[in-house]
Amino acid sequence: MATRLLSGNRAERGGEMAIHAVLLGASVISIATTVGIVFVLLSESLRFFDLVSVWDFLTGTVWTPLFRPAHFGVLPLVAGTVLVAGIAIIVAAPVGLFTAIFLSEYAPDRFRRIVKPMLEILAGVPTVVYGYFALTFVTPLLQRWLLPDMIIFNALSAGLVMGVMIIPIVSSLTEDAMLAVPRSLREAAYALGATKFEVATRVVTPAALSGIVAAVILGLSRAIGETMLVTIAAGATPRLTLNPTESVQTMTAYIVQVSFGETPQGTPVYYTIFSVGLLLFVMTLAMNILGQWVVRRWRQAY
Amino acid sequence: MRQSQIDTVRGISAEQFHRSLRGRRLVGKFAVIIFLFSTFIGLATLAALIIDVLIDGIPWIDWDFLSTYPSRHPEDAGLRSALFGTIWVAGLTALFTFPIGTATAIYLEEYAPRNRMTQFIELNITNLAGVPSIVYGLLGLAVFVSFLGMGRVVLAGALTLTLLVLPLLIVAGREAIRAVPDSYRQGSLALGATRWQTVRYVVLPSALPGILTGTILAMSRAIGEAAPVIAIAALVYVTFTPGHPFERFTVLPIQIFNWVSRPQADWQHVTAAAIIILLIVLLSMNAAAILLRDRFQRRSEE
């Protein structure tokens, strides 16, 4: 009897260990994904950098990999990316901040419960749909009322629509930070005679500042990595410009442009998408890490 | 000290105070209007987007549109191959994502020791969630399509999307598991259940609705993604429905992208009609997730 119990225990323990191993194995997949991304981007980029030096790639101002003579200077793509993402964050940072202030400090609970899920829908709309909207609605609107000379594919419409798209990211992270500010701080300010506006802007906003900064950084990182919207609406012209009414090409749009053409493996053009992808990966990773660091470093502990 | 603070210290007359208070209240009232207006920018854009798409697309939707293949003529074009491709890819992605994501969530919440390794896995998952989706496309292109020699097939697309949405499901799954009260686990362990028995028969049944909600939301993200799937599938003219995971395919967002850049007005209507179908699919999935969450919340409150 005792032996049966013991052997049962041993079998049971073996089973438990096997399950533990399976669960750990599943978790390791996420690490393997990161390793895979870094390895793929680096190894394919290294083949590209056999043909073009890293320095020429990073400082060159002409990007014409599909033409002859081919030039591989990535700066026009970086400029296009920064331009569109910059417009987006100029829209999303203030609007997201004001939305968060309204939802966390002013809105009645019922209003918030209806509006928040609707804003979340905004974040869930596929980006091809935003591309269609920018191209067929926003651009004609701007051409008709503001900029009659603007061409169809332009950085401005793409940036504006992308700004609306990332409002929910900025506002929800900001609102979380504001809700974490304790009531006692607000009450102390009211007791000193502050108006509601003064409490919101001089007490709650500074107290939530680390969260707000992180929200803007993460929103910007999202804007840099956004792909379909800019591919559809911002054009396919790599151009070193900061003029928002011109057609540009972002890093992500270039990768899509090359990959939907089924470029054969082994050609220089095939490797360019990995080196552009590597630069994109490094930029967004740096911003995400910076965002997390800001939160950790400056979070007020209450 | 600011000027206003110095005045307060020095003492100001009641009349001065009331005059400045009126000003401060006016500023506050003006600000509320701006905050409220900002909140409505996102909502108004969402409304404009939906109305724009409906006006352009509704007249083009009929049974033929769903059941015929793409065509060179807008009036004959249909979504059949894209719909079946999306069903194939989403189905396989769910099949892979659900067990891996759930296992990782269980491991991190129930098994993982609090050490460097666990911290590293957690940090890694946070950062993976911030990697641009097109980078996953490059990973899939290099690993599944080229290195493993699958080619541009359904399975390669599904595996790529699995890696993309895994972090979402892991985060949702962990929250669901964390919400199971510790007393349940202690009760189960006190009855002599092993760790795995506790997880399998006590924790998982309680956490399942939350995990399923997370799975549905992860699937809706996968269905709306275009960029990584374009890197895998390319812009191919598909006039068949895939019969097994090793056939070529297209999905709804790629079909939309394919149509959106054609200049003729009729294509704009076809694109809008396809967008309506995509949004209906996504909205019904989100509605299902919300219903599931609501039922679960009500049950746990009883």
Q: What is the pLDDT of residues B102-138, one digit of tens each?
A: 999 999 999 998 888 889 999 999 999 999 999 999 9
**Number of domains chain A is built from:** 2
The per-residue pLDDT for A121 is: 86
Q: Which of B262, B282, B42, B227 is nearest to A162 (CA)?
A: B42
Identity of the residue numbered B23? G
Say yes or no for a CB contact (<8 Å) between A198 and B100.
Answer: no
pLDDT of residue B74: 79
**Do A181 and A229 belong to one domain?**
yes
A63 in helix, strand or coil? strand
Q: Does A167 share its domain with A255?
A: yes
Place of tokens 């509006």: A115
Q: Give the Å distances, CA to CA, from A28 to A25, A202, A218, B230.
A: 5, 46, 26, 27
A293 interfacial to chain B (CB closer than 8 Å): no
pLDDT of residue A302: 64
For B196-202, what is the mean pLDDT? 93
Are residues A102 and A7 located together in one domain of the fold?
no
CB atoms B234 and A232 under 8 Å: no
- The enclosing domain of A150 has a CATH number of 1.10.3720.10
Domain-embedded: residue A163: yes
Residue B175, number of CB atoms within 10 A of its CB: 16
CA distance A138 to A233: 10
Structure tokens at B292: 């599931």
Estimate to the nearest angstrom the gap between the alpha carbon of B51 and the chain centroid.
Answer: 22
Same domain, A112 and A154: yes
Banded pLDDT at B243 (limits 50, 70, 90): confident
* Closest CA relative to residue B85, chosen from B214, B218, B256: B256
Cis preceding-peptide flag for A76 (omega within 30 of 0): no
At residue A4, the pLDDT reads: 45
B260, A120 contact by CB (below 8 A): no
| Span B38-65, average pLDDT | 91
- Residues A155, A237: one domain? yes
Amino acid at A243: N
Q: B63: which residues sit within 8 A by CB, 6+ positions away?
A: none
Q: How far apart are CA A76 and CA A61, in angstroms?
A: 6
Least trusted range by pLDDT, from A197-206, A255-264, B33-42, B54-63 = A255-264
Residues 6+ apart with CB under 8 A from B53: A129, A132, A133, B272, B275, B276, B279
- Chain A residue numbers with beta carbons less than 8 Å from the beta carbon of B264 are none
pLDDT of amino acid A209: 92
How distant is the Cα of B14 from the closest Cα of chain A, in angstroms?
14
- What is this structure's pTM? 0.90
Q: What is the 3-state secondary structure (H, E, C) of chain B?
A: CCHHHHHHHHCCCHHHHHHHHHHHHHHHHHHHHHHHHHHHHHHHHHHHHHHHHHHHHHHHCCHHHHHCCCCCCHHHCCCHHHHHHHHHHHHHHHHHHHHHHHHHHHHHHHHCCCCHHHHHHHHHHHHHHCCCHHHHHHHHHHHHHHHCCCCCCHHHHHHHHHHHHHHHHHHHHHHHHHCCCHHHHHHHHHCCCCHHHHHHHHHHHHHHHHHHHHHHHHHHHHHHCCHHHHHHHCCCCCCCCCCCCCCCCCCHHHHHHHHHCCCCHHHHHHHHHHHHHHHHHHHHHHHHHHHHHHHHHHHHHC
CA distance from start to end of chain B: 55
A43: how many CB neighbours lie within 10 A of its CB?
Answer: 11
Residue A11: the pLDDT is 67
Residues 103-122 of A with CB under 8 A from B: 103, 106-107, 115, 117-119, 121-122
Break chain B into its structural domains and give their ranges: 3-60, 63-301
The CATH number of the domain covering residues in B63-301: 1.10.3720.10
A144, amino acid identity: R
Radius of gyration (C-alpha) of chain A in whole angstroms? 25
Angle, nearest 10°, between helix axes B80-106 and B252-260?
130
Interchain pair A135, B136: CB under 8 A: no
Residue A119 and residue A204 in one domain: yes
Length of chain A: 302
User: What pLDDT is stored for residue A131 in this prediction?
Assistant: 95
Q: Is there a domain that residue A59 lies in? A: no
Determine the distance in angstroms separating the CA of B65 from the nearest CA of chain A, rounded to an integer.
19
Partner residue facing A273 (CB), from B111, B138, B260 = B138
CA distances, B64 to each of B67, B69, B73, B79, B176 (Å): 5, 9, 14, 9, 42
Asked whether residue A68 is domain-assigned, the answer is no
Of the candidates B182, B292, B276, the one whose C-alpha atom is nearest the C-alpha of residue A133 is: B276
Distance CA B225, CA B252 (A): 9
Q: Which of B214, B218, B245, B219 is nearest to B232 (CA)?
A: B245
- d(Cα A219, Cα A173) in Å, to the nearest integer? 10
Residue whose pair of structure tokens reads 């005045």 in the numeric block: B7
Residues from chain B contacting residue A270 (CB–CB below 8 Å): none
Residues A37 and A150 in one domain: no
Q: Is residue A181 one of the residues assigned to a domain?
A: yes
B279 pLDDT higher than 80: yes
Distance, in Å, from the CA atom of B273 to the CA atom of B6, rounded to the nearest integer, reads 64
The minimum CA-CA distance between A261 and chain B, rounded to whole Å, is 6
Per-residue pLDDT 10s for chain A (302 aa) are 344 444 456 667 788 889 999 999 999 999 999 999 999 999 999 999 988 888 889 988 888 888 778 889 999 999 999 999 999 999 999 999 999 999 999 999 999 988 988 888 888 899 999 999 999 999 999 999 888 888 889 999 999 999 999 999 999 999 999 999 999 999 999 999 899 999 999 999 999 999 999 999 999 999 999 999 999 999 888 888 888 988 999 999 999 988 877 677 778 888 999 999 999 999 999 999 999 898 887 766 66
Distance (Å) from the C-alpha of residue B243 to the closest C-alpha of chain A? 23
DSSP letter at A264 equals P
- The separation between CA B11 and the C-alpha centre of its own chain, rounded to angstroms, equals 57
Cβ separation of B31 and A168 shorter than 8 Å?
A: no
Examine the domain organization and report whether A82 and A172 are in the same domain: yes
Nearest CA in chain B to A38: B139
Selected residue with higher pLDDT from A232 and B296: A232
CB A228 within 8 A of CB B253: yes
**How confident is the model over B33-55, as a mean pLDDT?**
94
Go through A74-106 and write b for each residue having 16 or more CB atoms within 10 A of its CB, e for each that does not.
bbbbbbbbbbbbbbbbebbbebbbbbbbbbbbb
What's the Rg (C-alpha) of chain B? 26
Contact residues, A window 50-79, toward B, CB-based 8 Å cutoff:
none
Whether A64 is in a domain gets the answer no
**CA triple B144-B149-B151, angle to 5 deg:** 75
8 Å CB contact between B157 and B147: no
Q: CA A189, CA B147: separation in Å to the nearest integer? A: 62
Average pLDDT over residues B28-47: 93
| Residue range of the domain that includes A288 | 75-298
Burial class (CB in 10 A: 0-12, 13-18, 19+), A45: buried
- The Cα B196–Cα B182 span in angstroms is 15
- Residue in A121, A120, A99, A89 with CA at minimum distance from that of residue A226: A89
Q: How far is A206 from A212, CA to CA, in rounded Å?
A: 9
- Is A263 within the bounds of a domain? yes
Q: Which residue has the higher pLDDT, A152 or B235?
A: A152
Domain for residue A69, yes or no?
no
Question: CA-CA distances (angstroms) from residue B176 to A67, B112, B201, B204, B209?
Answer: 53, 17, 15, 9, 8
Kindly report the number of other CB atoms within 10 A of residue B91's CB atom.
13
